[in-house]
Amino acid sequence: MRGERLKKRNRIISFVMAIAMVLTLVTVAPVTAQAAGVTNITIHFKNDWGWGTPALQYWDGTSTTVIGGATEEVPGWGGAKATMLNKDAENEGWYTITLQGNCDGFQLLDFSKPSDNTNGNVRTLAMDYCNDKEPTDIYFNCEKFLTKEDPWYLDSNFQTSIETKLPKQEEETYDPATLVGDFSALTFTNEDEKIGNWNPADTNGDMVYVGNDVYAKTIHFKPLNEEASVQYKVAFNHAWDESIGENGTSDNVTLSIPAGTSYLTVVCDHKNRNLYNSVTNGADTTGDTVSIIGTVRDNNTWVETYEGTEYDFVKLSNRYYVYQKAFKAGSYQYKAVFNHKDWASWDNITLKLLNDKVVTFVYDAETGNAYDSVNNLDKVIEALTAEPQNIEKRWALVEYDRLDGDYEGWNIYCWNSGFSDGLNVKVDEFNGKHYLRIPVKASEADMTLSFCMRKSTTENEWAEKDGGDHYITFPADQKVVIAKFQQGQGITSVLPYNKGYEMKGAENKVAFYYRDDALMQELNESSLSDKVSVVVNGTTYPMTFDKDNQRYVYELEGCTSGKYMYRYIVNGEEVVDPFNESGAFSYKHFDDLTLEASFGNATMDYNDNNVLSVSFKGTDATNIDAKSELASITADLSELGGKTLDVNTELLELSASVRDSVSAGNKSVPVVAKDIYGNVYRATAEVTVTKRDTDTFDWDEAVIYMTCTDRFFDGNTKNDEGVNKSGSLSYHGGDFAGLEQKLDYLQNLGVNTIWITPIVENVDTDTDNGYHGYWAKDFTKLNPYLGTEEELESLINALHKRGMKLMVDVVLNHAGYGTEDYFNSILKDQDGNSISMIRDKDTTITGDDVRDSLSGLPDFVTENADVRNQLVEWQTEWMTKYDIDYYRVDTVKHVDATTWAAFKNSLTKANPDFKMIGEYAGAGYANTAGELGTGTMDSLLDFDFNDKAEAFVTGDINSVESFFQSRNASIDNTATMGGFLSSHDEDSLVDKLVTEKNLTEEEALKVFKVAAALQLTAKGQAVIYYGEEIGQHGLNNYPIQSNRYDFDWNQVDTQSADANSMLNHYEKLLSIRTEYKKLFARGDRSSVLASDDDGYDVFTRSYNGTKLYVGLNIKDADQTISIPVSEAAGSTMTDLYSGKIYTVSTDGKVEITIPKAVDGGTVILKKETSSNGGSSSSTGTTETVKNDTTTVTNPDGSKTETTVIKDLPADTKASLNVTTDANGNKTSEAAVETKGTEKKSGVSTSVSADVVKAITDKAKTTDVTIKQEVKKADGK
């Protein structure tokens, strides 16, 4: 029994250790204590647990000496060392070891079985006072440890606790304070804590003494369904002799508590006779949930994802959070966790208590710091007695329109609001419409508010999604943004942002606007109708309410250059414009200013990009400031097959592209610029579109193979110094040479583009190597683990000789850990001062996608033009030096749009064919966040794709097919998507099917074949993750990272010999995709048949007269179905996947058998079509179709005409074949299908005279041979 109890505890400890390791990855401080006191102890341990080799391991020690046995690395503990305990020769079963110096913690363990038998940190505060010259003997009691009591004693009989070493500390004396009042309107969460009615002797009302004559208490009650009123004050010494109430008097405080509230915190400042409470302080339900974590918890847990609220702070105000807890004397550690998942970035805080005490903790949301009443009493008192702040409230209001009217369970899961990621907002009804109110924290920069619209049930909070990720831009100067969200379409419109005026120079007008944000937040803007006017240069004008845009408007006409003064009159009171409090602006025209626009290259084809540049000419060109006075520049790319795009006003350039459907010839691109005064300038850029003349594949035809270079193949062992293939976070030896040596395999597989991880030199941390490439140390040097410059060049040349291309992963968002000093030393301004490339506190906006760091990595200040230009220069040099073909761009979401535009422009100037696919986390065809088809990314990784594949192979056929049809219509060669099933940053699809859909691994691998077929027959680019083509899979489970496996080359040989293997499945599909690359990259998609219940989907892909029928089957059995086709009766259809031949029946259908999932689950039918709409074969036969007749003409001049006969009796079908030989002789033959009557002798029927007449009329002769097929009435 003892062993079982110990083992259970150790499993928990091992899990905690794993959590600590994970936290190290994201640079959150690991679970360790701050420096403790000097100690000098000899530990005596009686081996009651039967450990094989008792040992001691300590950590974070300075000047620490351990006197014991041998010191060795603990197996499987990543290099951590432990010292063996010595046997006590005089006392059987006892072991000893001496520890001297400083250490933050230590644990005892069984060195022979360290993963099973450890007891976690057993260092206590009392050991700080065991610091005599001679070691203090202390004894470990195993039984006490198991019952969670203090196990340390000063004698072997376990009579005198080590706690007696703690000195006594005098506590501050104070008068007891009690919260008294009438709280009858509240239902206390715990009935035992209910406060009696106006009873100062009721100890349930006793407040916690914080210090400096300040008290605090929080009462918890069930959430209020409606507003409730309470009365209270604070009495002292459990009597009425002294009390504090309203405004320091003894009068009762009357307080209205809002609906939805579930707690009340009251603070009493006895000295200054002030009371504070969380309601009056304005605390609301927005913001993060803040919890305390560490050994301060009753179960000493460091696990952040607990269920419950017992460790949650409450909000005293919208700035300060409060938590109180009673402790016994001892040493504790803590830090904060947000929303039960995100760790605070600061180090753990140590709390030392010499006496039992109730401690008050405060979290300051403004500074991000936490304090306690032991270490920082002044800070805690300051927080508790702070006057209420008028914190600006900002809201995004999303009007949700569901056509079915069903809003039950629908809510928004939101992030990037400045509050908690994962904020959940429910639908509320207002005036017959449905809104979701998302709180947004004040920010110095514009924010990209991100959310998913989802339906939650009690069983599944993600039961349904309306689209993928959605985004709303929330400018820093706005207090409310209102967007409309249409079911199935996403965000369809956003109300104009609030502003005071708009100059319309081209019309000689100025439009004045007024909107009351407070009323707008309550959707009550119209209440000011007929009560708003604007005073311009002393003249008052009435403003009209614009219902569509929810603001008041007046347009002043006949404006001329000069200065204007304005203010508003609202409800009879003068109001200034909050966006321009001076009420003044200058309006002007430029007399001599013209716009010019031109392309960098005179010609381009549909696979090119071309940089459009704009500039101003004229005597006023030097008078206009592009950064401050240019409002917008747009380019109308409709003649290039595009839309109107914004030209970046800082760069004055745009990378443009051409749709493949645009004909060759001269094209014009109108460019329009507007300045802040409303003046409009126009120009036209000319470019010639040429036919594409190349023997290589196009960008949108890329089949991309993503490989982690270090894990693929070790082709040169000479660069293996430091390689450790057994370490999940270490280099494994894969290199450029290895990739080149495996190009035969990759080309035979059928891929044409190899995506490799970043190639620049990376940093290594204490626990991790930069094997993945995303922790750059020097952007000008190759990572030596991957090979030499000559080996990289050789790889690229070898790829190009095969008609293949190289895609390199690049990072512009961040550098590797510890590189701040290096990167901050590179750039200098014109005065020789350093320009910081790395973001610091002055350039950081906490929680912002762009202006905050990821996982504590050094974040580049890309909004600084000098920093941006340097990063762009480095990455452009790599491309030009080595003739790299494409870039995969990391962390697109976390870099400003101007940088991406500058990057694209630089690459396009160097090579018009150069393309980029971006990783914008959460992107899909319906939510590209403005980074696709806008002059930055040429493609985005499709984060919806694997979710949809997962849904498809588990039975959600129809809705996924509908999704792919919408996706198909939304992407093109200039703005495409890369669909992937697995990646290095996610669990593989196979593992998702196991963990999320409860499939077995065997079942998951079966349907994964169908997922691959879904992927490789879809429009856009296919992105294959290395190893999934041989069935490898893994979890994104740091530090193990089983999804970043070494490629299993043994499986290639094994599966090559198995016709039904995953590898052969991929090779067949990729061979078909290569043969019909334009069709799959660009073709239309239409549904033919689909069934959720039966688990199959049949759809067509068609392009330029070629049509393929794709059938997919997720079931574990073959399925035979009859599908309608457009090909004529008698036509032959070939299954490209299996080679089977099918014939179109007289009713225009083909009966096909789709194999079960394990056998590929795929049919791809084809009928090759010629350029004139007919079909052709290698023998010279041609086929044309006109109306209901298909004509096949042979090289010798003979032909066969097959006609479907119409207007026949029910249950009768017929077709006529008229064959004309080379000499013109005709023979006619008809096929008739009827249903008959079953008799003993068989099935009987006859061909009616009407049918015979219809056949002979169509043949124009009575000399027709009629063949009859008879079926039973049931069709068999």
pLDDT of residue 12: 27
**242 within a domain of the structure (yes/no):** yes
Q: Name the amino acid, one letter, at 932.
A: L
User: Is 1178's pLDDT higher than 60?
Assistant: no
Domain end call among 165, 196, 227: 165
**1049 within a domain of the structure (yes/no):** no
pLDDT-derived band at 807 (thresholds 50, 70, 90) equals very high
**910 within a domain of the structure (yes/no):** no
CB-CB neighbours of 497 under 10 Å: 17
**802 within a domain of the structure (yes/no):** no
Give the lowest-confidence range in 153-162, 549-558, 606-615, 1236-1245.
Answer: 1236-1245
CB 811 within 8 A of CB 763: no
Taking the C-alpha atoms of residue 293 and residue 302, their distance in angstroms, rounded to an integer, is 6
Q: Which DSSP string do the residues of 92-126 spell out, in sequence order?
A: TTEEEEEEEE--SEEEEEETTSTTT-B------GG
Looking at the structure, do residues 131 and 249 belong to the same domain, yes or no? no
Could you give the percent of the chain with pLDDT greater than 70?
92
Beta-bridge partners for 655: 611
Rounded average pLDDT over 1093-1106: 96
Taking the C-alpha atoms of residue 1010 and residue 951, their distance in angstroms, rounded to an integer, is 12
Taking the C-alpha atoms of residue 951 and residue 946, their distance in angstroms, rounded to an integer, is 8
Looking at the structure, do residues 516 and 380 belong to the same domain, yes or no? no
DSSP 3-state assignment of 1212? strand
Looking at the structure, do residues 213 and 350 belong to the same domain, yes or no? yes
Instruction: Quote the tokens at residue 737.
Output: 């040479």
Instruction: Quote the tokens at residue 1235.
Output: 């249903």
CA atoms within 13 A on the CB side of 1192: 17
User: Is 1235's pLDDT higher than 70?
Assistant: no
Looking at the structure, do residues 403 and 357 belong to the same domain, yes or no? no
pLDDT winner (highest mean) among 161-175, 999-1013, 1231-1245: 999-1013
Give per-residue pLDDT as tens, 100-114. 988 878 899 999 888
Taking the C-alpha atoms of residue 989 and residue 1051, their distance in angstroms, rounded to an integer, is 19
Give per-residue pLDDT as tens, 40-87. 999 999 999 999 999 999 887 667 889 999 999 888 777 788 999 999
Looking at the structure, do residues 195 and 229 belong to the same domain, yes or no? yes
**399 within a domain of the structure (yes/no):** yes
Range of the domain at 342: 177-384
CB-CB neighbours of 779 under 10 Å: 21
Give per-residue pLDDT as tens, 897-915. 999 999 999 999 999 999 9
Give per-residue pLDDT as tens, 942-976. 999 999 999 999 999 999 999 999 999 999 999 99
Rounded average pLDDT over 207-235: 93
CB 397 within 8 A of CB 482: yes
Rounded average pLDDT over 141-164: 91
Looking at the structure, do residues 205 and 341 belong to the same domain, yes or no? yes
Looking at the structure, do residues 147 and 270 belong to the same domain, yes or no? no
DSSP 3-state assignment of 885? coil
Rounded average pLDDT over 363-381: 92
Looking at the structure, do residues 133 and 221 belong to the same domain, yes or no? no
CA distances from 546 to 272, 431, 554, 610 (A): 52, 18, 10, 42
Domain end call among 1120, 1154, 1176: 1176
CATH number, domain with residue 683: 2.60.40.10
User: Is 282's pLDDT higher than 90?
Assistant: no
User: Is 373's pLDDT higher than 70?
Assistant: yes
User: Is 1257's pLDDT higher than 60?
Assistant: yes
Rounded average pLDDT over 769-787: 96
Work out how many domains the chain is built from and give that number: 7
Taking the C-alpha atoms of residue 132 and residue 38, their distance in angstroms, rounded to an integer, is 10
CB 1055 within 8 A of CB 1068: no
User: Is 1208's pLDDT higher than 50?
Assistant: yes
Q: For the CA atoms of 641, 646, 652, 654, what is the dihedral angle to 10 degrees?
A: -30
**80 within a domain of the structure (yes/no):** yes
Domain end call among 650, 667, 689: 689
Looking at the structure, do residues 1226 and 1134 belong to the same domain, yes or no? no
Looking at the structure, do residues 242 and 330 belong to the same domain, yes or no? yes
**1169 within a domain of the structure (yes/no):** yes
Taking the C-alpha atoms of residue 151 and residue 108, their distance in angstroms, rounded to an integer, is 12
User: Is 893's pLDDT higher than 60?
Assistant: yes
Mean pLDDT of the residues in the chain? 88
Looking at the structure, do residues 53 and 148 belong to the same domain, yes or no? yes
pLDDT-derived band at 842 (thresholds 50, 70, 90) equals confident
Rounded average pLDDT over 628-649: 95
CATH number, domain with residue 1145: 2.60.40.1180
CATH number, domain with residue 419: 2.60.40.1110
Output phi, psi for 19, to 5 deg. -60, -45
**964 within a domain of the structure (yes/no):** no
Give the lowest-confidence range in 204-213, 547-556, 661-670, 688-697.
Answer: 688-697
Taking the C-alpha atoms of residue 450 and residue 455, their distance in angstroms, rounded to an integer, is 17
Cα 873 to the chain's mean position, in Å? Answer: 29
Looking at the structure, do residues 219 and 300 belong to the same domain, yes or no? yes
pLDDT of residue 390: 62
